[in-house]
Structure 1
Amino acid sequence: MTTPDPLVEMQIGGTWTDITNDVYFDGGVTTTRGRSGEGARVDPAMVNMRLKSPDGKYAARHPMSSLYGRIGRNTPVRTSVGGASTALDLPEDRDTARASTPDHVSLDITGDIDVRADLTPLAWAGSFTNGAWEVMGKYVITGNQRSWRLLVQNPGLIEFTWSPDGTNLLGATSTVGVPHAPGRRGAIRATLDVNNGASGRTVTFYTAPTMAGPWSQLGSPVTTAGVTSIFNSTAPLEVGNLAALGFDTQQLHVHAVEVRSGIGGTLAANPDFTAQTIGASSFTDGAGRLWTLANGAAITDRRRRFVVEVPEWSPRWSVGGADMNVPIQGGGILRRLSQGAKALESTLRRRIPSYNPLAYWPLEDGAGATQAYSPIEGVPPLQVSGGWTFGSESSLAGSSALPSVEATARMRAAVPAPSPSSSEWSVHMVYSVDSAPATDGVFLSWTSTGTMRRWRIVEMAGVAHVQAFNSAGDLTLDQAIGIGPDLFTGWQRLAFSTSESGGTVTWRITWWNIGGTAGTFSSTYSGSAGRVVEIDTQFGTSLSGLHVGHLAVFSVADVDAYNFADHGFTGETAGARAIRLTREEGVPFRLLGDATAQEPMGPQRPDTLLNLLRQCEETDGGILYEDRNQLGLVYRGRSTLYNQEPALTLPYSKINQPFEPVDDDTRIRNDVTRSREDGSSARAVLEEGPLSVQAPPLGVGTYDESVAVSAATDAQLEQLAAWALHLGTWDEARYKQVRILLHKHPSLIPALTGVDVGDIVRVTDLPPFLPPGPVDLMVEGYPEALTGLTWEITFACSPGGPWTVGVVEDPVLGRADTDGCTLTAGITATATSVAVTSTPGPPWIDSATFPTMFPFDVTVGGEVMRVTACTGTGLAQTFTVTRSVNGIAKPHTAGAPLSLTYPMRAAL
């Protein structure tokens, strides 16, 4: 039995400090992360432990404590364990962590090159602010000492860049992303053929499970005209965060690296970090290169298990104070986020102030308001008169309710002067109107300094006027602009701007159909632009049903503050929305998967941050959970859950009871509706089969569900409902938990420490009293307990089968099932010739016509058979089979249903 090796650290005064010796491990350190089961929402992570507190050390308010003033509410605590595979650890919070070796003649490769890296990143594709993360390179910008670099771009594409002269860059990017799952180990490789023999150069990319291979080509080679070379720089070879670059960092374990002169050529460097002594700060690799670690990089076998905050400190002591201790219960960031009930404001209200307007009035005030508040410091309220009804119109997706304005109503407020002064400015407003005015109607007007002292925007059916008056009050500019009826249909955004250069003022007016197209007109006049002094608008008498909002003045002409925010970011994907929201709120966040492959969202309405993030989860169908490497959140996109290789393979003999199949109706949903706010709905019903809406014994009866999702369009709803029906009618027993005692099975530790929410665990070698395996289970979450002698984890699981989806042209997952097939006659337990009839068809492929498509597996009565040949081309055919592929062998009666064991299933 192996004794656990936990390390408990507390952030004391901003520094992570080892407090392991202060933990009572006899009571254990217990952790709960993720979801409690299939379909549940993630609860905040919880950690319980008890600290020794001699002399009141952990009594946060005790003046004599050595930690007085340095710990308190929400002090972070984290734990890691040893026993994983040794690797070079590059922490996410150390953006300069690296291993490097100095320049050497063997590294001065100017011709063909072959670079390889064996890595475990937290995310191969996801939320990278700067679009890529660094793997390795021989690349220094100072003094133009660029040779080459290897990066991984945001959607999981490998990028290889080189310089022929130390300054200018050439490069290539893989045509497809790496196949490695989030958090899984994988190797990547890039080769550069500087002269491919056809007056060009070729970069080819590869992937493999590890450095040992086998290597598979990734996508198509990237060939470019013109031969090339690599600059012979003096830069060191660096692994991890290159000193010269500012790309993203993430928690990264590097297992090994190779640099070869020539494709498959001589090794110039080959650090194998798995073979190094834990804690070593330098070593020499097999090629003779001396490597040095810097800036937080470490060779370690430790893996993080949790990071939490401690919201409560409750010192306890025995009578007389002989035993002083502090039980603490740490919570993940969801605990804090879930306590806040304040809804985030509308997308326009949140975004516009970040662009530093001179003045801004959202006009989202409540129904009883008599003036319009400004969130910009120093800007007075907008005074209104003559018929304003606040909070009456809520149809603009990017806004809370806006006012209705009666004809001849007025709004007025001073605009502060820009500092420093500016030679340009712009005025913006959104509006809608029930119908085009029959006569000229003033939509917006303001006063300014400069040549033109008063401006008016006047609109009526078919024409708009931009009017400007000089200091004497004379109308000196009256530009008629032809406009279409679309400016009086739905919500519009109006922007007017000026910019001055050399005594000429260029003015421009633009209308946007919010969520649609835009139209612009511009012209010039001689003079000065001045600045906006005051908004002073007397709305036209011909206006009927006018609604206005989000009036702003900027000291620049071009502003994109309204872009996308005006329609509530409708159409951005679930991952993109989660990234934007968490960045706006300063919440550490990691996206797993390609954001572009996720479901487009509907408008973002005012709600709490946590509810908005859960809308992303519900619409896309992925999993939102807490990061165990930092106090932050992770969203694992639905597409990353498809067709996973197991993160952990467990023989039945290495799990503890209970491991029991449960057939229940907890997750059955056979009548599913998905609807969209202010939109339509779609329904999917399973009409036939054992989990159908038919009454028993033909089905189970109706289990219905209706969920509103934030979809961008009604067209998404049918597929969303169909996918929910697929998950809700998956006909398989539920193994709801897998319990493992790691102190008894330490060989599992290296793989198990990498298992996280959404990963697949495969249980093999099931005993005969259980249904045949293997059983693939998706990890929903887990409780974990560490004591001084034991380490136990219990995975909460759901079936992994529903997440195996079709892949075009794949020999297994790309094969479609028939629309119904049965045994023509009964067969014995050992028969290898099986007569089948397909009704209504189509028939099965025959082995004479499609020999390369054999063998394939079919299932009859729970027995898996391998079809090695098929004769006949009609609906009646004969299979030659190998029996008992899954360990089940029994006779079957005529009419028994037969189907593909792995039929193609469409993904969402």
Structure 2
Amino acid sequence: MAFPQTPIELLAEMQIGGTWTDITGDLYRRAPLTIERGRPDEATRVDPSKATFQLNNRANKYSPRNPRSANYGLIGRNTPVRFSVAGPESYLATTGVSGDIVATPDHASLDIVGDIDVRIEATADWSRGIQQTLIGKWPSADGQRSWYLRIINDILVFVWTPTGLFANAVVASTLMPQLPRRAAVRATLDVDNGAGAWTASLYWAESLAGPWVLFSTITGTSTTSIHSGTAPLEIAPTHVNGTETRHPWKGRLHRAEVRSGIGGSVVASPDVRALAPGTTSWADSAGRTWTVAGAASISAREYRLHAEVSSWPPRWDVSGRDVYVPGEAAGILRRLGQGQKALASTLARRLPTQGPVAYWPMEDGRDAEQAYSPIVGCPPLPTVGFTFGQDDTCPGSAALPSLDAAAIMAGPVPTYTSLTNGWLLSLIYQLEAPSSTLQPWLAFRTSGTVAGLVVSYDSATIEVAGYDATDTQIVSEVFSNSDTFGPGKWYRFDLSAQQNGGNVDFHMGWVEVDGLGTEWNFSEPGTVGTVTRIETAFGADFSGMKIGHLSIFPSSDLSVWGGSDNGFGGEFADTRLARLGSEEGVPITPDFAPTTMGAQRPASLLTLLAECEAADGGVLYEDREAIALRYRARQSLYSQPVALTLNYTTDGHVAPPLEPVDDDQRVRNDRTVRRTGGSSARAVDETSALSVQAPPLGVGTYDDSRDLNLRDDSQVEPIAAWSLRLGTWDEARYPTVHIDLAAAPSLIPDVLALDIGDRIQIINPPDWLPPGPIDLIVEGYTEVIGHPNDWDIILNCSPAGPWSVAVLDDVTTGRGDTAGSTLASGVNSTATSMSVATPSGPLWATSGETPFDIRVGGEVMTVTAVSGASSPQTFTVTRSVNAVVKAHSSAADVRLAQPMILAL
């Protein structure tokens, strides 16, 4: 019997011939759909997602190798498949691609020139590492711009212009608090605050219904206004400001409002929650007509997995009547993991994409006798005296050749037409020591007035000699040289020429890879021509020099390197993830992750992605709403809101078994972190219950070491300290939490929204467990959808406690603990006054700090008053806040229940 549609309303779709096709009716109920995502119990890496299911194949639809199948040639290995269930409400799905929007035409009511109030409730990656425009009247064409609201990294930005011109834009922006995935943001603008200035205020709330939390007020120096404009009001628009593209937002719109005046009349109110899926146009409560465009869509589906069918094994019973396929689909990580070919160096990957007419990487093997060219139509460059594969210390390159005392490189450059009446010749090199005499270093020919150019230099001088077509010298330029060599230093050399009226402007520059540079310029009469031939016989004193990535471009644009010469060292982890995804055609959506990376060396794609994940400390996982990857940054895990609350005792939200594990699987109390190619740092716990001390004072030594691809040595010490915190968190693990959604259907909306890295809590645990809440991070899950009334999800979890860090001005996590306090005398189980001794460090504050929670012997108490100017002090407390009732002896440790912990 095929899988029923109700009450779970599962939808299974397969991309047959490029079209998503409903295959739900062919799913067998006897083999429930099982989905696995994320990390298994305590694993360090995310596994590829997996779905297992059975398809009815009596009609021969799922036999990709059978020409009698209706789907022959339309399905096969890695055919996309997706599974979804009906969600509690509709939403507008935005893609982050230009043109995939919803908009309403301009209307007189939208032409607000005074105070304005803009609100939007969305599900979004609020800390995604690119600019995302949420809503606005701000076309790319200048002149009719009014305002827009956008996010960039963790910053909310409201922009307006009084004139309609980008040049007169006014910006109000600030760092946002950490928001739940579904949240509302709001911007108000008071164009005249009564004090001769404007005031913009930024808020957030859990929904458009509020209550609104003000997190920033920005005040200008004069009054302002908003250009009325004729542009439509758009949600998820694309804006181009000069050379900068402000990308549309990717996520879900639930509803939005634009009000004329702060808290004033509603002039636009798109609310998609009750719209029928597939709606393309509707009128909102303010009378505005909204139209969906591009690939944006109204949907009510909650996708549980997007994957690729990796196996199509045909099966049948002995009668031949039960023909089926036990299908298995996997996420994109499986396919990416099948090929482990190392990606080429960053220089070899970037330079060919910049339009060179000739390019010789010189990353050839040790036995090579010429330099290969990856450019179609460009022949190899003949060489003499080159020993290839000798030095791989340039951050952006694989191993490059070394020259002997009679080295030559000479060969033609393909004929080309200059794009801008200019050219650029570039290379990188390393020279341990300069020549003591002036010797030729580079020579080549052009079709211009200066038909031959020879660059020579020694320890003090750089000389450029130019020759006409008859080899008569017509150019002699001499420059002082002090910064173009040095032991272990790599340099990038650029020599460009550009026609400027009747003259040719020459630019010559040396830039230390990952450092500073020197440049010289000169101009000569004549025409620029094109580079026609490399013709260099190196001076004997350049023996031992390393050289590579010789390239010629048909314009004088110096931006071709783009950071590739130093292996993109110093770029943020999220920038590298997005760049690698773009280069390799793998969709990756990263959070803003400002951990600076070291050089990207040749390695497989998954290895390079894993380097970013390891350096930042977040989690790279598969998107369930697309065949794509997502990266959740470390900082998004800090002190995050609770996404799902499970009531164990009262509501029975947790299905059996709930089995804590108190083991040493994650214990690491001696941690060393090394920077690849750099220094290291060690962090050791010598005092806690999980310290390196022998039992019973500790647990003995559990050590490890990790190599991380970081930018500089200053990063290793704080990472080692943070790693030690994660490895010495003293709490039982709850490896799995089982939720029976058929028994607790009220949890379905929150469970559907739950994703990898989210925080959950189990409240009211049984009395035989420590008092709650049990605070957990979701590392992954297994989801089983079977019988119409069977829907189970088993969460793989780890403790959330280590991720609770200081939040500035927060009354709970923003307090500093003492250096060590104890009870000066014992107390019984009901005493509400106690004497607390603090032998060293600052005393507890006696005013302005209460109430706050302390923990004594496992009991949490709320301190309502502190008195005493010297130790011991008197605490007035409310007992048994966490339902622990017990007496405490003298010298019992007194600590904040939630001390301030600084994040990495």
Q: TM-score range by the shorter chain?
A: over 0.9
Residue of structure 2 in register with 1:558 after alignment: 557
Tell me, in whole angstroms, the C-alpha distance in 2 between the residues paired with 1:869 and 1:520. Answer: 68
Query: Residues of 2 paired with 1:643 and 1:341: CA distance?
Result: 37
Offset of residue 193 of structure 1: 2.2
**What does residue 92 of structure 2 align with?**
89
477 and 247 in structure 1: CA distance in 2 versus 1, 3 angstrom threshold:
closer
The equivalent residue for 2:850 is 854
CA distance in 1, matches of 2:346, 2:139: 42
Q: Distance in 2 between matches of 1:488 and 1:459?
A: 14
Distance 1:208 1:26, change over 3 A: same
Counterpart position of 1:496: 495
Amino acid at match of 2:755: D
Work out the CA distance in 2 between the residues paired with 1:555 and 1:486. 26
Given candidates 104, 109, 114, the residue that maps to 2:112 is 109
Cα distance in 2 for partners of 1:862, 1:780 equals 27
TM-superposed CA distance for 1:807, in Å, is 2.4
Identify the residue that residue 768 of structure 1 maps to in structure 2: 767
In structure 2, the partner of 1:825 is 825
Deviates more, 1:172-181 or 1:801-810: 172-181
Q: Quick check: 1:389 aligned with 2:387?
A: yes
Let me know the Cα RMSD of the aligned residues.
Answer: 2.3
Q: Deviations over 1:274-312 (max 9, x none)?
A: 344566555554444455555555544321111001122
SS in 2 for 1:132: strand
Q: Structure 1 19/244 Cα, relative in aligned 2: closer, same or farther at 3 Å?
A: farther
Report matched runs for 1:620-769 at 5 Å. Answer: 620-652=616-648, 653-769=652-768
Q: Residue 880 of structure 1 aligns to a residue in which SS? A: strand
2:425 aligned with 1:427 = yes
Letter in 1 for 2:876: T
Q: Does 1:364 align with 2:363?
A: yes
The question of whether the paired residues in 2 share the 8 Å contact of 1:437 and 1:544 is answered with no
Which has the higher mean CA deviation after the structures are superposed, 547-556 or 237-246? 237-246
Aligned residue type for 1:393: D
Measured after TM superposition, the shift of residue 251 of structure 1 is 4.5
Q: Which moved more, 1:626-635 or 1:311-320?
A: 311-320
Aligned twin of 1:572? 571
2:413 equivalent in structure 1: 415
Q: Aligned runs of 1:195-594 on 2, under 5 Å?
A: 195-223=192-220, 225-231=222-228, 233=230, 235-241=231-237, 248-249=247-248, 251-276=250-275, 283-293=282-292, 295=294, 297-319=296-318, 321-385=320-384, 387-419=385-417, 423-485=421-483, 487-489=485-487, 490-592=489-591, 594=592
Any conservation in 2 of the 1:90–1:98 contact (CA below 8 Å)?
Answer: no
Note closer, same or farther for the CA distance 1:224–1:185 as it changes in structure 2 (3 Å cut): farther
Equivalent pair of 2:690/2:698 in contact (CA under 8 Å): yes
CA drift of 1:906 comes to 1.4
Distance 1:326 1:296 in 2: 33
Deviates more, 1:675-684 or 1:805-814: 805-814
Q: Name the CA shift for 1:302/1:176 in 2 (closer, same or farther; >3 Å).
A: same
Alpha-carbon displacement from aligned partner over 1:419-452 (angstroms, at most 9, x marks no partner): 3565211111111111111111222111222222
Unaligned 5+ segments in structure 1 are: none
Alignment CA distance shift 1:38-1:249 (3 Å): farther
Determine helix, strand or coil for the equivalent of 2:347: helix
Q: Is the 8 A contact 1:158 1:173 kept in 2?
A: no
- CA shift digits 1:321-356 (9 cap, x unpaired): 422222211111100111111000111111111111
Q: Deviations over 1:643-696 (max 9, x none)?
A: 101111111121112212211000000000011222111111001121000111
Residue type at the aligned position of 2:634: R
The answer to whether structure 1 residue 878 and structure 2 residue 882 are counterparts is: no
The structure-2 alpha-carbon separation of the partners of 1:368 and 1:842, relative to structure 1 and needing over 3 Å to count, comes to: same
8 Å contact kept, 1:670–1:728:
yes
**Normalising by the residue count of structure 2, what TM-score does the alignment of the two structures yield?**
0.94
SS in 1 for 2:798: strand
Change (3 A) 1:427 1:294: closer
After TM superposition, the structure 1 stretch with the greater mean CA deviation from structure 2, 376-385 or 136-145, is: 136-145
1:802 counterpart residue number: 802
Q: Indicate conservation of the 8 Å contact 2:160/2:170, yes or no.
A: no
Partners of 1:359 and 1:554 within 8 A in 2: yes
Q: Would the aligned equivalents of 1:172 and 1:222 in 2 still touch at CA under 8 Å?
A: no
**Aligned partners of 1:181 and 1:640 also within 8 Å:** no
Q: Distance in 2 between matches of 1:69 and 1:258?
A: 49
What secondary structure sits across from 2:202 in the alignment?
Answer: strand
1:72 equivalent to 2:76? Answer yes
Runs (5+) with no aligned partner, structure 2:
none
Q: 1:721 to 1:891 in 2, by over 3 A?
A: same
Partners of 1:829 and 1:371 in 2: how far apart?
Answer: 86
SS of residue paired to 2:92? strand
Q: Please tell me whether the aligned partners of residues 484 and 510 of structure 2 are also in contact (alpha carbons under 8 angstroms).
A: no
Query: Could you tell me how far apart the structure 2 residues matched to 1:500 and 1:95 are?
Result: 38
For 2:210, the aligned partner's letter is: G
Give the match's secondary structure for 1:311: strand
CA distance, structure 1, for counterparts of residue 750 and residue 142 of structure 2 = 44
Select the residue among 600, 603, 609 that pairs with 2:605.
Answer: 609
Match of 1:177 in 2: 175
Q: Does structure 2 conserve the Cα–Cα contact (< 8 Å) formed by 1:455 and 1:469? A: yes
SS in structure 1 opposite 2:827? coil
Q: SS state of the match for residue 853, structure 1?
A: coil
Answer whether contact 1:2 1:743 (CA < 8 A) is retained: no
Amino acid at match of 1:153: I
Residue 45 of structure 1 aligns with an amino acid whose one-letter code is S
- 1: CA distance between counterparts of 2:142 and 2:854? 65
Q: Tell me which amino acid in the other structure corresponds to 1:403.
A: P
Distance change (3 Å), C-alpha of 1:537 and 1:331: same
1:60–1:251: structure 2 CA closer, same or farther, 3 Å change rule?
farther
CA distance in 2, matches of 1:824, 1:840: 14
Aligned-partner Cα distance in 1 for 2:601–2:229: 55
Give 3-state SS (helix, strand or coil) of 1:255's partner: strand
Separation in 2, partners of 1:296, 1:447:
52
Q: Which amino acid aligns with 1:411?
A: M
Instruction: Output the TM-score relative to the length of structure 1.
Output: 0.94
Structure 1, 265-274 or 607-616: larger mean CA deviation: 265-274
